[in-house]
Amino acid sequence: MVVSLMWFRRDLRLSDNPALVEAGADGEVLPLFVLDPRLWGPAGPSRRAYLAGSLRSLDASLRERQGGLSVVRGDPVRRVVQAARAVGAERVHVSADFGPYGRERDEAVEQALADAGVELVRTGSPYAVDPGRVRNGSGEPYKVFTPFSRAWNDVGWDAPADAPTGVSWLRLDEDTTEIPEPRVPEGLELPEPGEASARRQWEEFLDRVDDYDTDRDRPDRDGTSRMSVHLKYGEVHPRTLLADLGARRSRGAQTYRTELAWREFYADVLYRRPDSARDYYKPEYARLDYDRPGDQLSTWQEGRTGFPIVDAGMRQLRATGWMHNRLRMIVASFLVKDLHVEWQHGARHFLHWLVDGDLASNNHGWQWTAGSGTDASPFFRVFNPTTQGRRFDPDGAYVRRWVSELADPDQVPDPHEPDADTRDLVGYPAPMLDHKEERQEALDRYERIKG
């Protein structure tokens, strides 16, 4: 019988986990998670608390199967080799990581394991189609989403795999492992972590998926799936979601498949252009004249801009670690095109607070809005925050929910544009800028780099 180590990373589940199936086929398996200070450090309070909860949930599922999760802290290069040695593992199984840091880390771990006579086996990834696999007829990557998504669909994916059975689970000495406490800061309301919670959320959404295409753009409705955090931590695999959507042909189901394809597109773009995690995908945008971030950045971060829809989005982020997609676009546009601050400052703030914070989707979502990304929204398309609010939150329910000063309809009849007397009465700030002027300013700056 071969002893294996299953190194969990962004795949905190037992079902439909091909790497775990491979490990289980060996017979004896040590399930391991390494708390890597290089990821734990910058994670921010929402993701730390969520990850701790998700690890506890995975541990509980393994305990139900007479096993348990061993969690160690430190540099994975050292810790994975130590753990493999401790149980005499011949193989370490992982689901492949295609992110810039993950790839480098895995190469270093692979080398250190090889030196110790242990093999690193990569099976699957957090994506239906591994980044790098979708190519056009000339073998080149796609830069535009629609042809990518067609080719992605043509590549296709396997059916979901069952959870392994009949495995003998191993554990490290209890004294050397410790699952962190999920410390949720006061006032932060996070979704329930774990594979079972992901499944429940998904099943609840499947009842609404046919309305997804009409409801997804309405932050005042519960119209989206809220699966991003579960996908982020691999509590469910997108292949499972795609299989469940199966033959559904409603517009809602079709649109949902397309949104999952956007996640895969951005992972593919980041894989091919790791520099685009920090730098402009289109380098000419680095020449645009931006303002130095200062008070205007903190006003935006704190949701005190005086533009109700922007403030509602920023406050929802701080209160829940999540923000509706329409709002992510509105507040990002406001930072880059009204406040003239570079996208990286906003992306960093998002990654600090978002519970679903994901380098590829976040930084390319920002570059899409800033005009500098691949297949991005053109720079000259500047969102008018007030019109966006009226259009996507017509009754103001979303704004009232998140901006407490504007909650009372008797005091504030128009939550999207409260007049000066109302603002004084409820203590809500005046708009920090004139949108028309700043839009023109953004377009003038853009003119100077065009061509």
Q: Which residues sit at the interface with ligand FAD, rule CB under 6 A?
A: 216, 224-228, 231-232, 259-260, 262-263, 266, 325, 328-329, 332, 350, 354, 356-358, 361-362, 365-366, 369
Residue 169 or 307: which CB sits closer to ligand FAD?
307
Helix (H), strand (E) at residue 209: none
**CB of 329: closest distance to ligand FAD in angstroms?**
5
Residue 220 or 358: which CB sits closer to ligand FAD?
358
Query: What's the CA gap between 316 and 189, in Å, rounded?
Result: 10
Strand 168-169 with 119-122, pairing:
unpaired
Query: What's the CA gap between 76 and 84, in Å, rounded?
Result: 11
**CB of 343: closest distance to ligand FAD in angstroms?**
8
Q: Is 110 helix (H, G, I), strand (E, B) or coil?
A: helix
Residue 333 tokens read as: 């546009």
- Closest chain position to ligand FAD (CB): 365
Residue 70 or 333: which CB sits closer to ligand FAD?
333
Instruction: Give 348's contacts (C-beta < 8 A, 6+ positions apart).
Output: none
Query: What's the CA gap between 349 and 190, in Å, rounded?
Result: 18
Residue 224 or 276: which CB sits closer to ligand FAD?
224
User: Tokens 């005499």 identify what position?
Assistant: 88
**CB of 47: closest distance to ligand FAD in angstroms?**
10
Quickly list DSSP for 333-380: HIIIIIS---HHHHHHHHHHH-TT--HHHHHHHHHHHHT-STTPPPTT
Residue 197 or 361: which CB sits closer to ligand FAD?
361
Residue 31 or 131: which CB sits closer to ligand FAD?
131
**CB of 354: closest distance to ligand FAD in angstroms?**
5
Residue 33 or 233: which CB sits closer to ligand FAD?
233
Look up residue 16 and give its DSSP letter: T
**CB of 245: closest distance to ligand FAD in angstroms?**
11
| Beta pairing partners, 32 | 7, 70
Query: What's the CA gap between 303 and 314, in Å, rounded?
Result: 5
Closest CA to 381 of 323, 439, 432, 425: 439
Residue type, 281: Y
Residue 241 tokens read as: 């979601």
**CB of 314: closest distance to ligand FAD in angstroms?**
12
For 371-412, give the secondary structure using H, E and C. CCCCCCCCCCCCCCHHHHHHHHCCCCHHHHHHCHHHCCCCCC
Q: Is 419 helix (H, G, I), strand (E, B) or coil?
A: coil
**CB of 255: closest distance to ligand FAD in angstroms?**
9
**CB of 362: closest distance to ligand FAD in angstroms?**
3
Residue 171 or 401: which CB sits closer to ligand FAD?
401
Which regions of 91-146 does DSSP assign to beta strands (E)?
91-94, 119-122
**CB of 371: closest distance to ligand FAD in angstroms?**
13
Residue 271 or 350: which CB sits closer to ligand FAD?
350
Residue 209 tokens read as: 């998926």
Residue 142 tokens read as: 């796609």
Counts of helices then strands in the chain (DSSP H, E): 20, 6
Query: What's the CA gap between 84 and 32, in Å, rounded?
Result: 10
Distance linking the first and last C-alpha atoms of the chain: 65
Residue 130 or 405: which CB sits closer to ligand FAD?
130
**CB of 330: closest distance to ligand FAD in angstroms?**
9
Decide if 119 contacts 34 (C-beta within 8 A). no
Residue 110 or 358: which CB sits closer to ligand FAD?
358
Residue 179 or 188: which CB sits closer to ligand FAD?
188
